Amino acid sequence: MGCLPDLAATVGTVASHAPVALSLVGLALGLLLQPLAAGRSEAQSAPAFTLSSPAFAHQGSIPTRYTCEGADVSPPLAWSGVPAGARSLVLIVNDPDAPDPAAPKLVWDHWLIYNLPPTLEQLPEALTRDALPPGARFGTNSWKRADYGGPCPPIGRHRYFHKLYALDIVLPDLQQPDRRALDATMSGHILGTAELIGTYQKQR
């Protein structure tokens, strides 16, 4: 019976410290979870990386002016929400429906530009090599030309994917690379991608 008072005292001591212990545990958990919550908040507040054109809507028809049946000049493009940490941008425009959307066999590349500055927000209509921002370069399209080639589908309505990639590096001078070489050099360095799709079917 003599041990009962001691046991009661021990229980009382533990009980009296329980609120303090729980408070310390709660504080520790709060400190651990704070960076995670901050990360979620930053991710939610970061603007979406988007690409658009004043010439046509997403999934809309590309005006004839920008095709082989018109002036065959590049369309104006604009973007926003470039990911933080981006050091350069790459634009690739291609057609995954070649030659026939009912039985596609290859991806036809129409336009490649790399090392666009991340501070740039748009490209004007009818962009030429001389008008490229300093450091930016054209790649080689499927016509083996280092410039823009507009939609010119042989049959049916094709889709034209305009993809803008934000990279965490500035690419070396690749001497007018084709898409395969550009893809290989970009691999592992893509921070985000914005996409705009236009469609076109020949009028005659």
The tens digit of pLDDT for each residue in 179-195 reads 999 999 999 999 999 99
Question: Do 114 and 182 fall into the same domain?
Answer: yes
Question: Do 56 and 20 fall into the same domain?
Answer: no
Task: Give the structural domain span for 20.
Answer: 1-45
Number of structural domains in the chain: 2
State yes or no: pLDDT of 26 exceeds 90.
no
pLDDT in tens, 156-175: 999 999 999 999 999 999 99
| Burial class of 132 by CB neighbour count within 10 A (0 to 12, 13 to 18, 19+) | middle
Question: Do 95 and 25 fall into the same domain?
Answer: no
Question: Do 87 and 2 fall into the same domain?
Answer: no
pTM of the predicted model as reported, rounded to 2 decimal places: 0.79
Q: 124, 116, 121, 120: which is closest to 76 by C-alpha?
A: 124
Question: Do 63 and 137 fall into the same domain?
Answer: yes
pLDDT in tens, 35-64: 555 555 554 677 899 999 999 999 999 999
